[in-house]
Amino acid sequence: MGSIIRLILRALAACWIALQSTPSLRAQAEVRLDSPMPPPKWAVLQRQLLAEHVPACREFFSRYFDDRGYLQCFVRWGANDGPDDAFENFNHWPELHALGAGDEILRLYLKGHDGLIRQYTEAKTVEVPVARDGMYHKEFIVQSDWMHHGEGLQLFNRMGLSIPTDSAYQARARRFAGFYMNEDPDAKNYDPQHKIIRSMMNGSKGPMLRKATATDWAGDRFDLAGFVALHGERTFEEFLAHYEEYTDVAGDHCLNLGATTLAMNAYMLAHEAKYKKWLLEYMEAWLERMKQNNWIIPSFVDLDGKIGGPDGKWWGSAYGWGFSPVNPVTGRRENRHRIERALTGFNNAFLLTGDTKYLDAWRNMTRAVNANARTADGQMQYPTMHNAQGWYGWQNRPWNFGALEVWYWSMKPEDLERVGANGWIDYLQGRNPNYPEAPLERDLQTIRQRMNAMRRDKLPPEKRLADNMMGFNPAATESLIHLMLGGLQPGRDGGLLNARLRYFDPARRRAGLPEDVGALVSKLTETQTFVTWVNLNKTEPRTFIVQGGAYGEHQLENVTSGDKTLPIDSPLLPVRLDPGCGRMLVLQMKRYANPPTVLHPWDRKAARLGL
């Protein structure tokens, strides 16, 4: 036709041969881009980054895993170097595949995930009571805190991006959520009367309701000679000393809000109401506790549901507001609360409902903490910790953990003011137009640096701890998530992906952009996403499906190019890119309007998901 862009209404089944077997998907708009575009450097770098990950991940897997998917290391229990660290060797591999990296990434991490479950089910302790019959039970760690649960579950929690209909994944998602909904007699972690998870140490064998010992945390004794402990311990006595003050674990802890991700995983399979009900019931209980505690989330709720127990010590428990144990390596006390990990629960509840009261609660806590600022030597100081003597842990800037996330969810200017310096945000605000290439080049360099470091690694398998190789993991996805998806890099808390857009390849029936396609999200507003798509292939067209949100939570209302606007009214939009063509478009959307789902477009049922 020769026009800059052709926006044509077509039936989805007629346009997408690969989707013809899904008649329940209704006809909707297709965007066809036929404007020639010289290959942008950012698009070339994106495809190079996706491509270079594949041989790097293959080499990493070959070096540190065997044919069963077992990690080649000295297998131990413990918070220092235990099962969670073994699984963390695959951090960001699920996101990498979901962006469009080769299927070998998926094959390797699935093999590793299954292998690690078997390996740690077979592994047994001598001195740690709960793990004497295996460190994993029913494919889940027997007992841990939600800092370490979240870290170890990063792989599982995000593999639904690529394999939502896999029978093993679905069974695990429901079983794992059931451990926190009293569906398993071995795991009575939840008290529905008081709406608490009964201990900060919990898992597939239930809660720890006694005082924890240093051995419970550090694992069986071993000789450290020849090992490299990443926390700097030189002897096993220092391992034990690290955890001497980690005794208070019975009762609920805001860290346990990480368990809501398990309910989210299960809910997003088929929208079974019980998972949503439990998640919101538990989250509402925590909002009520915040209201009762001057909007500051407690770190200790006793077994009777009382904030702070009989003495009102709302700051109590290991990893609580008042937790500053001695580091045996340095001999100094370190402020070590993990309150920030509770943000995962707020994220899940907001993703599920779109209700801004969850954002309001986090803002209220930020204000409440910073209201205790003091002046010292003419300098404002802000607290980060609290114990029986009051606030402490002073710093020269306001406490603002979660500021980036709250702004990303709200898109409010007043939230942006709290974020601080951020190159990506500057780019989205139009202040750094040359930004995209630099972070992509940085991540390419990261892959090469990690591979070079791995090749210099001389530790034999029998002297490797499970966390020794984590720093060699080549997956570097932050720039791709920012630029291709307009999303946030998921953190170590084990939470889910936050993204404005996701992509699916109908020809290959998989998540991610097809080969040769680049995507650049250049501006975000509360209702709009500005994105450029380009096909680097000069001879073959490329087709893909755009989704609003990481899990279809955003409804795409229309798409505009120049003076032409096409209605959509769906979370999904088919796009065809002619050879060598590309264009910047504006997607108008209603955010957090749909129930989130992990199902890919061709697996969704119209009656259930409203397509």
pLDDT at 257 over 90: yes
Please choose, from the candidates 550, 463, 544, 438, the residue with its C-alpha nearest in 3D space to the C-alpha of residue 498: 550
Q: How many CA atoms lie within 13 A of 306 on its CB side?
A: 7
Bridge partners, residue 532, by sequence = 520, 584
The C-alpha atoms of residue 113 and residue 188 are separated, in whole angstroms, by 26
The C-alpha atoms of residue 434 and residue 43 are separated, in whole angstroms, by 13
pLDDT at 93 over 80: yes
Mean pLDDT score, 75-98: 97
- DSSP classification of residue 375: E
Mean pLDDT score, 82-96: 98
Given this model, what pLDDT does residue 429 score?
Answer: 95
- Tokens 């009261």 identify what position? 357
Given this model, what pLDDT does residue 444 score?
Answer: 98
Please choose, from the candidates 287, 325, 284, 289, the residue with its C-alpha nearest in 3D space to the C-alpha of residue 305: 289
pLDDT (tens digit, 9 = 90+) per residue, 348-388?
Answer: 999 999 999 999 999 999 999 999 999 999 999 999 999 99
Given this model, what pLDDT does residue 11 score?
Answer: 33
Let me know: does 322 contact 387? Beta carbons within 8 Å.
yes
pLDDT (tens digit, 9 = 90+) per residue, 497-524?
Answer: 999 999 999 999 999 999 999 999 999 9
Residue 397: which region, alpha, beta or left (left: phi > 0; alpha: psi -120 to 50)? beta
* Average pLDDT in the chain: 94
Vertex 263: Cα angle to 257 and 264 (nearest 5): 95
Those residues with Cβ within 8 angstroms of residue 310's Cβ, 6 or more apart along the chain or in another chain: 302
Let me know: does 600 contact 163? Beta carbons within 8 Å.
no
Buried b (16+ CB within 10 A) or exposed e, 529-543: bbbbbbbbbeeebbb
pLDDT at 69 over 50: yes
Bridge partners, residue 387, by sequence = 390
Let me know: does 415 contact 402? Beta carbons within 8 Å.
no
Helix axes 167-178, 260-270, angle to 10 degrees: 140
Give residue 61's pLDDT band: very low, low, confident or very high (50, 70, 90): very high
Show the tokens assigned to 447: 């892959």
Give residue 103's pLDDT band: very low, low, confident or very high (50, 70, 90): very high
Q: How far is CA 209 from CA 250, 289, 302, 551, in A?
A: 5, 21, 11, 37
Vertex 565: Cα angle to 609 and 20 (nearest 5): 40
Given this model, what pLDDT does residue 236 score?
Answer: 97
Q: Can you list the pairs that 451-454 forms with residues at least 24 positions away whose Cβ atoms lie under 8 Å?
A: 451/56, 451/59, 451/60, 454/59, 454/60, 454/63
pLDDT at 268 over 70: yes
Mean pLDDT score, 274-293: 98
Q: What are phi and psi of 298, to 5 degrees?
A: -70, 155
The C-alpha atoms of residue 218 and residue 82 are separated, in whole angstroms, by 9
The C-alpha atoms of residue 39 and residue 37 are separated, in whole angstroms, by 6
- Tokens 């079974």 identify what position? 272
Let me know: does 337 contact 320? Beta carbons within 8 Å.
yes
Given this model, what pLDDT does residue 81 score?
Answer: 95
Given this model, what pLDDT does residue 390 score?
Answer: 98
pLDDT at 598 over 90: yes
Given this model, what pLDDT does residue 562 score?
Answer: 86
Give residue 607's pLDDT band: very low, low, confident or very high (50, 70, 90): very low
Given this model, what pLDDT does residue 240 score?
Answer: 97
Let me know: does 125 contact 135? Beta carbons within 8 Å.
yes
Given this model, what pLDDT does residue 605 score?
Answer: 63
Q: What is the DSSP string of 524-577?
A: E-SSEEEEEEEE--SSS-EEEEEEESTTS-SEEEEEEETTEEEEEEESEEEEEE
Quick one: what percent of the chain has pLDDT higher than 90?
Answer: 93
Give residue 441's pLDDT band: very low, low, confident or very high (50, 70, 90): very high
Q: Can you list the pairs that 223-231 forms with residues at least 24 positions away whose Cβ atoms lie under 8 Å?
A: 226/463, 227/74, 227/463, 227/465, 228/459, 228/463, 228/465, 228/468, 229/80, 229/81, 229/465, 230/80, 230/81, 230/465, 230/467, 230/468, 231/80, 231/329
Q: How many CA atoms lie within 13 A of 227 on its CB side?
A: 26
Quick one: 331 exposed, middle or buried, by C-beta within 10 A (0-12, 13-18, 19+)? exposed
- Tokens 């991490």 identify what position? 109
List the beta strands (DSSP E) in 192-270.
196-197
pLDDT at 12 over 90: no
Let me know: does 139 contact 117? Beta carbons within 8 Å.
yes
Quick one: what percent of the chain has pLDDT higher than 70?
Answer: 94
pLDDT (tens digit, 9 = 90+) per residue, 163-198?
Answer: 999 999 999 999 999 999 999 999 999 999 999 999
Given this model, what pLDDT does residue 15 score?
Answer: 38
Those residues with Cβ within 8 angstroms of residue 17's Cβ, 6 or more apart along the chain or in another chain: none
Domain 5-34+500-609 is in which class?
mainly beta
Bridge partners, residue 586, by sequence = 530, 560
pLDDT (tens digit, 9 = 90+) per residue, 325-345?
Answer: 999 999 999 999 999 999 999
Given this model, what pLDDT does residue 7 score?
Answer: 42
List the beta strands (DSSP E) in 369-431.
374-376, 379-381, 385-387, 390-392
Helix axes 343-353, 403-410, angle to 10 degrees: 10
Buried b (16+ CB within 10 A) or exposed e, 49-62: bbebbbebbbebbe
Given this model, what pLDDT does residue 8 score?
Answer: 36
The C-alpha atoms of residue 462 and residue 464 are separated, in whole angstroms, by 6
Mean pLDDT score, 529-549: 98
Show the tokens assigned to 72: 């080649």
